[in-house]
């Protein structure tokens, strides 16, 4: 992961979930000593048969109110964090993916106010995760930040450097323990012959040397990865996964395990986009 000094960007549509995401992003910006950039994406007019928008002037006013409220909600809590706002136009997912190229982190809520608001995870979060230039965080579950752990979900057959760099960085910033976890639910003789934790230790060692102040533990539970990582999330402040691997399908932008934890985790989930993998 290349260093990025861009802002922590967060999208809001005025929904309660987006409000939670904005506050989480502001706290993250404070930890990283970065500015916060709050955006509202005004999408094209809906298709025939859907609700008619309030008109250009009404939409402008609604965007202004949403952004002003979002900014006001965090400036008092985090007065040292510079906060800017911007209205963007277009379909939310591609607009936010473009925004990720000039951001250190892209944050979205797990539900919105659009047509897909009833899903466990809104369509924007699913479309953005795994496609962003910077890591993307879907804010869900417990956001208290008091559990004292960051979990890194590892895939021993893929490059884990992006996941581990973000996980160690977050653990250091939070003063949290890092738990490196690889889960599997089918016998893997290659893993067993190397020793249950030796491969995890080999992956983590260079990062532990770079972050000597971060306490790190490893685990390799014999359990389906979605169930294992969802369980880990109940004792974590952040779960970090790669966009592919962990039992996902080759060629898929978002692997099945990453998809599963985005729906069911009990803490915010950071997805690091996999690069240069078939």
CATH number at residue 100: 3.40.50.12370
| Residues 171, 111 share a domain | no
Q: Which residue has the tokens 């987006």?
A: 18
Query: What percent of the chain lies above the pLDDT cut of 90?
Result: 67
Mean predicted confidence (pLDDT) in 164-177:
98
Q: Which domain, by its residues, includes 82?
A: 8-139
Instruction: Look at residue 252 in the predicted model and tell me its pLDDT.
Output: 40
SS3 (DSSP) at 229: helix
Residues 165, 130 share a domain: no
Q: Which segment of 42-51, 60-69, 77-86, 193-202 scores lowest on mean pLDDT? A: 42-51
pTM over 0.85: yes
Q: How do residues 215-232 score in pLDDT, each as one tens digit?
A: 999 998 889 999 999 999
Please report which confidence band the pLDDT of residue 190 belongs to, taking 50, 70 and 90 as the band edges: low
Task: Give the model's pLDDT for residue 20.
Answer: 96
Would residue 3 count as lying in a domain? Answer: no
Going edge to edge, which strands form the sheet with 269-272? 83-89, 36-42, 8-11, 105-109, 136-139, 269-272, 238-242, 149-153, 177-181, 216-219
Q: How confident is the model at residue 255 (pLDDT cuts 50, 70, 90)?
A: confident
Proportion of the chain above pLDDT 70, given as a percent: 80
Contact indicator for 220, 197 with CB cutoff of 8 Å: yes
Higher per-residue pLDDT: 45 or 174: 174
User: So what's the pLDDT on residue 127?
Assistant: 85
> What pLDDT shows up at residue 56?
63
Per the domain annotation, does 24 fall within a domain? yes
Chain mean position to CA 252: 18
Where does a domain end: 93, 119, 139? 139
115 and 189 co-located in one domain: no
Do 131 and 26 lie in one domain? The reply is yes
Mean pLDDT of 101-117: 76
Q: What is the mean pLDDT of residues 142-157?
A: 94
Evaluate if residue 248 carries a pLDDT over 50. no
| Average pLDDT of the residues in 2-16 | 86
If asked whether residues 21 and 118 sit together in one domain, one would say: yes
Which positions ≥6 away from 112 have C-beta within 8 Å? 13, 15, 17, 18, 122, 124
Longest dimension (CA), the chain: 66
Query: Are 56 and 129 found together in one domain?
Result: yes
User: Are both 130 and 162 inside the same structural domain?
Assistant: no
Q: Answer whether residue 2 is part of any domain.
A: no
Residue 278, in any domain of the structure? no
Give the CA distances from residue 186 to residues 16, 151, 156, 221, in Å, rounded to whole numbers and listed in that order: 40, 22, 14, 11
How many folded domains does the chain comprise?
A: 2
Please indicate, yes or no, if residue 41 is contained in any of the structural domains. yes
Q: Does 134 share its domain with 155?
A: no
Given 95, 111, 139, which residue is the final one in a domain?
Answer: 139
The pLDDT of residue 31 is above 80: yes
pLDDT tens-digit map of 38-70: 999 998 866 545 555 555 667 889 999 999 999
User: Is 217 among the domain residues?
Assistant: yes
Same domain, 111 and 161: no
End of a domain among 112, 139, 166?
A: 139
135 within domain boundaries: yes
What CA–CA distance (Å, rounded) separates 88 from 247? 36
Q: How far is CA 96 from the centre of its chain?
A: 13
Please, which pLDDT band fits residue 191 given cuts at 50, 70 and 90?
A: low
Asked if residue 1 is part of any domain, the answer here is: no
Question: Quick one: 157 and 128 in the same domain?
Answer: no
**Owner of token pair 């979930």:** 17
Whether residues 153 and 241 fall in one domain: yes
CB environment 42-57: b (16+ within 10 A), e (fewer): bbeeeeeeeeeeeeee
**Do 133 and 168 fall into the same domain?**
no
């Amino acid at each position: 992961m290349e260093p990025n000094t861009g802002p922590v960007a967060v999208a809001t549509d005025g929904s309660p979930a987006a409000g939670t995401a904005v506050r989480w992003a502001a706290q993250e910006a404070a930890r990283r000593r970065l500015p916060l950039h709050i955006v509202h994406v005004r999408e094209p007019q809906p298709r025939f048969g859907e609700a008619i928008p309030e008109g250009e002037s009404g939409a402008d006013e609604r965007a202004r109110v949403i952004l002003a409220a979002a900014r006001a909600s965090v400036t008092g809590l985090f007065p040292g964090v510079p906060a800017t706002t911007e209205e963007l136009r277009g379909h939310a997912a591609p607009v936010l993916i473009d925004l990720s190229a000039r951001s250190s982190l892209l944050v979205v809520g797990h539900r919105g106010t659009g047509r897909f608001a009833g899903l466990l995870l809104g369509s924007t979060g699913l479309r953005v995760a795994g496609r962003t230039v910077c890591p993307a965080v879907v804010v869900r579950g417990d956001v208290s930040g008091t559990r004292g752990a960051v979990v890194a979900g590892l895939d021993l057959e893929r490059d884990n450097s992006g996941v581990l760099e973000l996980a160690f960085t977050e653990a250091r910033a939070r003063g949290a323990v890092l738990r490196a976890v690889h889960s599997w639910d089918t016998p893997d003789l290659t893993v067993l012959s190397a020793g249950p934790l030796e491969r995890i230790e080999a992956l983590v060692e260079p990062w532990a040397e770079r972050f000597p102040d971060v306490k790190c533990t490893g685990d390799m539970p014999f359990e389906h990865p979605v169930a294992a990582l969802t369980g880990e999330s109940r004792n974590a402040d952040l779960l970090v996964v790669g966009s592919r691997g962990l039992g996902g399908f080759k060629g898929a932008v978002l692997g099945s395990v990453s998809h599963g934890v985005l729906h069911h985790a009990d803490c915010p989930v950071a997805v690091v986009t996999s690069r240069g993998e078939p």
